[in-house]
Structure 1
């Protein structure tokens, strides 16, 4: 998930040496690891959460939807409101808010309390990650900013591959509340490390929200963002309900965490490969390949689920392909956005981050609605979403060619 967030204006570089600056970014990466784990660990915990709160799994899935939608809405708003705050103060505060949100969620005895906790956690995540990237970029010379950003956002990638399954295992061994408490403790530990180790960094110039949203008037941008929403909704129609959807394939409760690890590894590989492939062949061929692979993987998994079981190795291969297809989207999408609005690159990629979480929220809502109809229906809905993404991509290409925008 290294593509979920982008930096705001990195601001003036500090006097920290390159080596020291990159070491500071490792602390920031621990925070993005906590954010990434928190955002997606719930997928492996939903049935237990539902039992504890005496609601259906679909109802418990609202916690994923609310987190994602809250992040999507709050990210640009908080970025505007907190622009002038010193970075270290902002980062520490965001991590504390993330921790509080997880503690509230862990102590919830009703669904409404859990929802409140997830909204608070989303606010902390939305404030932390873009500013962690900005701080990391400002700690090193300009020539090392790309590397610093890769380190900071690498925490999200590691969370995709390791944090979510490890959180799921913690939930299995100690309960879902313990998994959320563990994320809170990690956030608190990183907050202390940031306060003690990070140098003071000034805030950035304020950019009005109206200016941030002005890029939406560009045809090239309008052609890209809806595709992000549809593509992420397609993959998260099923992912948010990993336990029942994989269980329908004969995957046991403990094996679900192994499959989430496979998904995460696929996501990392797909993300990295997408970056290289986009540079070499362009964004559109990468997206066509990714959406086609997602449609096939989810379609085959749906067909296998009707039988009630499938060979574990086959399921693992399909889940890995699904993960790679899901997370190959955004490097290519970011490339298209930057090409369409090069002077507003940080802003449009930030909007893409909001579109990602909006898609996750909508996909989770669709999955919850389809759950009573059966797991095959959920897989079919996800596969259909990938096909729709292909059609929207084709339509977007026609729009951008007509208006002279660059989108490939």
Structure 2
């Protein structure tokens, strides 16, 4: 792995731990702050909305700035935000700290993916993005299970303090390893970045990202009570299942990068179809503990197969000004995170059992398939149109 991409991967590990570890600590947070588990689940939604609204604000504010100082500043924001989370005395201040932390998320992954793609030949760009995102997937193998175990042993605040330490390492790594002149902003500045948002394919890629993420978070937000109540697993065992989910994500991320460099949209469509089928299998067989564990592993693998393809899809569709579009795509993923967590919580509130919750994810995955098929059809139509004579 090139050292600059390694630095970005360390930061993405910190960010991934920040985003996902709260799901393994929902019962502890809810009990400590005196709120219900669905209310604690809104901390996932709040973070996701912080990404959504923060992404365009940060991207536009930094459109003309050198990429390296921006990445260092965004990593530092996560250090401060996690410190605020650790010391928040009540639910609403914890929510505010989560939203503040999330403001840098979309911009970091958006700008970071453009930087990573600029460091390798064109036919390796998706794989380079996948390497950067490897930190995010590894956070689910190491950061989330370790953070969950730490939180259960010493209190959930200890988990956020540990993330502060990791964040400081990521700031130092970016400052040391990322070249100062990498992926400098285009001459078009903010207006050039805004112009590419007029492209339909950019928006379709973002919609696919949102629906894919929603299908995941409608169920994964409540994975701990699902595995304990439906599959009959102990709380301690859930920590190891989350580790397995992260292993699946890491494998899927590597596979997704390579497949995207080969066949981008067919990879997206086939993977989303497989996800829908897996959700149905989860509904039918989730009460069998061994089957549920296997499904969680496959689920993690499939959801991250589509991440590198969708990110490089946006970068290429917005080639004239990729920073804002790539950042907004991270916002799109988190629109799905927020929407999925809300939809899952609403379904539970309306009486849908944990056992049937995966059917909600299946419906959202099928919607994502429909949009992906439309996007590919538009690609083919464009390719068939005669080019203007020079």
Classify the TM-score, shorter chain.
0.7 to 0.9
For 2:378 and 2:114, how far apart are their aligned partners in 1? Answer: 33
Residues 122-271 of structure 1 mapped to structure 2, 5 A cutoff: 122-132=102-112, 152-192=132-172, 194=174, 204=185, 208-247=189-228, 248-271=230-253
Aligned to 2:344: 367
For 1:88 and 1:159, how far apart are their aligned partners in 2? Answer: 23
User: What displacement does 1:391 show?
Assistant: 2.6
Aligned to 2:289: 311
Aligned to 2:362: 383
User: What displacement does 1:151 show?
Assistant: 5.0
Aligned to 2:388: none
TM-score, normalised via structure 1 length = 0.81
Query: What whole-Å deviation, never above 9, does each CA across 1:314-369 have from its counterpart, x for those lacking one?
Result: 12221111112211123333454456454445554333222111111111111121
For 1:88 and 1:297, how far apart are their aligned partners in 2? Answer: 40
Aligned to 2:87: 107
Quick check: 1:297–1:319 contact (8 Å CA) kept in 2? no
Quick check: 2:54–2:106 contact (8 Å CA) kept in 1? yes
Query: What whole-Å deviation, never above 9, does each CA across 1:35-63 have from its counterpart, x for those lacking one?
Result: 11111111111111111111111111111
Quick check: 1:249–1:304 contact (8 Å CA) kept in 2? no
User: Unaligned 5+ residue runs, structure 1?
Assistant: 1-18
The number of residues matched between the two structures is 380
Residues 385, 199 of structure 1: alpha-carbon distance in 2 compared, 3 angstrom cutoff: closer
Quick check: 1:223–1:399 contact (8 Å CA) kept in 2? no
Instruction: Give the CA RMSD over aligned residues.
Output: 3.2
Aligned to 1:302: 283
User: What displacement does 1:234 show?
Assistant: 0.5
For 2:381 and 2:4, how far apart are their aligned partners in 1? Answer: 46
Quick check: 1:83–1:206 contact (8 Å CA) kept in 2? no
For 1:251 and 1:198, how far apart are their aligned partners in 2? Answer: 43
- Of the three residues 68, 71, 81, the one matched with 2:61 is 81
For 1:200 and 1:396, how far apart are their aligned partners in 2? Answer: 37
User: Unaligned 5+ residue runs, structure 2?
Assistant: 386-390
Worse-superposed segment, 372-381 or 120-129: 120-129
Residues 193, 322 of structure 1: alpha-carbon distance in 2 compared, 3 angstrom cutoff: closer
